[in-house]
């Protein structure tokens, strides 16, 4: 039997970049519908290269085969707030990180999703690590913080994203519940909305364990 683990933050009004309003109700029209106002990088979401690269690929042209398949869960729960995640941190997994790899960095950070520290104190990917992953031609990188880099440092934010997205690495940010995973390798699925010209999109991310 397979086990499905939801790795997605629930969206609700009041979350950064999220607002809902009733469009119709059963009492009024006979059915419920809702108007959604969503920032393209709200909650658990995916970045397209166009997010940081002017001529980068947009969301509707993303290679979906990168978004589905085996993913290795790397335990980095020892990483502290504001720490840089380095090449040395991933060295124990180096033999398993090869072209086409999908990596999920487990830091436990999603437990802080409703706190001010979630965006201000996040552990993040160092530029040398981003470049190292690009050289290894991985397919996908998933992280629990809302960004792979410091959202309050424009230079870092830009350079780390460009290193990854320039290598056509799919980035999934804002993952949750990685601490519920029991296997080192899972089947990972995260599919974006097909937005023409899209720079990013919320996703429903799941892991399947055999």
Task: Say what the pLDDT of residue 27 is.
Answer: 97
Residues 6+ apart with CB under 8 A from 139: 66, 69, 99, 100, 101, 102, 169, 170
Determine phi and psi for 69, rounding to 5 degrees.
Answer: 150, -175
Residue 130 clears pLDDT 90, i.e. is over it: yes
Q: Where are the beta strands (DSSP E) in the chain?
A: 3-6, 18-24, 33-38, 45-47, 68-75, 84-85, 102-106, 124-125, 140-143, 170-173, 185-192, 200-209
28, 86, 112 from 60: Cα distances, Å: 36, 32, 31
CA atoms within 13 A on the CB side of 7: 34
CA atoms within 13 A on the CB side of 75: 8
Specify the residue for token string 């993303």.
Answer: 62
Predicted confidence (pLDDT) per residue in 88-105, tens digit? 999 999 999 999 999 999
Task: Say what the pLDDT of residue 74 is.
Answer: 98
pTM: 0.97
Classified as helix, coil or strand, 133 is: helix
Residue 123 burial (10 A CB sphere; 0-12, 13-18, 19+): buried
Percentage with pLDDT > 70 across the chain: 100
- Domain ranges within the chain, ordered by starting residue: 3-12+40-209
Task: Say what the pLDDT of residue 72 is.
Answer: 98
**CATH T-level assignment (fold) for domain 3-12+40-209:** Glucose Oxidase; domain 1 (3.50.30)
Task: Say what the pLDDT of residue 132 is.
Answer: 98
Kind of pairing between the strands at 33-38 and 140-143:
unpaired
Predicted confidence (pLDDT) per residue in 43-63, tens digit? 999 999 999 999 999 999 999
Catalytic (active site) residue 121: no
Task: Say what the pLDDT of residue 5 is.
Answer: 98
Mean pLDDT of the chain: 97
Predicted confidence (pLDDT) per residue in 67-91, tens digit? 999 999 999 999 999 999 999 999 9
| CA pair distance 144, 70, nearest whole angstrom | 18
| CA pair distance 68, 5, nearest whole angstrom | 15
Ramachandran bin of 134, using left for φ above 0, alpha for ψ from -120 to 50, beta for the remaining angles: alpha
Confidence label for 158 from pLDDT (cuts 50, 70 and 90): very high
Task: Say what the pLDDT of residue 65 is.
Answer: 97
Of the residues 41, 51, 89, 161, only one is catalytic, namely 51
Task: Say what the pLDDT of residue 1 is.
Answer: 86
């Amino acid at each position: 039997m397979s086990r499905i683990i939801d790795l997605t933050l629930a969206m609700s009004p009041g979350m950064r970049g999220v607002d809902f309003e009733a469009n119709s109700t059963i009492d009024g029209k006979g059915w419920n519908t809702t108007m959604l106002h969503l920032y393209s990088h709200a909650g658990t979401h995916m970045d397209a290269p166009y997010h940081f690269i002017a001529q980068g690929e947009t969301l509707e042209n993303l290679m979906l085969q990168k978004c589905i398949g085996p993913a290795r869960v790397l335990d980095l729960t020892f990483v502290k707030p504001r720490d840089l995640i380095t090449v040395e941190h991933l060295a124990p997994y180096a033999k398993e990180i090869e072209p086409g790899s999908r990596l999920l960095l487990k830091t436990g950070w999603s437990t802080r999703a409703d706190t001010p520290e979630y965006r201000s104190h996040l552990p993040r990917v160092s530029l040398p690590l981003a470049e190292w992953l690009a050289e290894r031609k991985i397919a996908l990188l998933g992280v629990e913080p809302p960004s792979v880099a410091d959202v309050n440092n424009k230079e870092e934010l830009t350079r780390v994203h460009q290193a990854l997205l320039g290598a056509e690495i799919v980035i999934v940010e804002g993952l949750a519940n990685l601490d519920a995973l029991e296997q080192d390798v899972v089947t990972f699925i995260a599919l974006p909305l097909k937005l023409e010209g899209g720079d990013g999109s919320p996703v429903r991310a799941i892991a399947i364990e055999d």
